[in-house]
Amino acid sequence: MAFVYNIGVMLAIIETGGKQYQVAEGDSLKVEKLAIAKEKGEVVFDKVLLVADGDKIKVGTPYLEGATVTAKFEEEGRDKKIVVIKYKAKSRYRIKNGHRQPFTKVKIEKIA
C-alpha cells in the first residue's frame, strides 16, 4: 500500500493483527478480530509506526513512544468465503474447503 500524503490531515500508520494500516481520523477500518473491542466499546492501538500532521512527520524505531490511536467499535462479523482447493494429478485427490475470516470494524476517532 502506498503512503498517500494529504496536507492538513493527520495520518498514522498502525500495526494490529500482524498487518499495518494507514488511518486518518474518521476512517472506518476492518481489522483482524479483537475480542476486547465488543465489551469495552473502544480500542486503543499503541503500536504506532508513523504519525504525520501536515509538514511534521514522526517515525518510530519501530514504534513511537507515547503515540496512540483511539477507535470506536462499530461491528463484528465474518468476511466473504474464500474457497481453497487442493488437487493432485493422476491420484484422484481433490479436497475443497472454505474459510471465512472473522473481523472487527472500527472507526478511528483520535490520533495522539
Label residue 75 by pLDDT band (50, 70, 90). very high
The chain-wide mean pLDDT, for the chain, equals: 91
β-pairing, 102-111 vs 56-59, is unpaired
d(CA 75, CA 36): 12
pLDDT at site 36:
82
How distant, in Å, are the alpha carbons of 28, 70, 86, 88 from that of 36?
18, 14, 35, 42
Residue type, 82: I
Percent with pLDDT over 90 in the chain = 76
Please choose, from the candidates 23, 28, 17, the residue with its C-alpha nearest in 3D space to the C-alpha of residue 51.
23
Q: Is the pLDDT of residue 6 over 80?
A: no
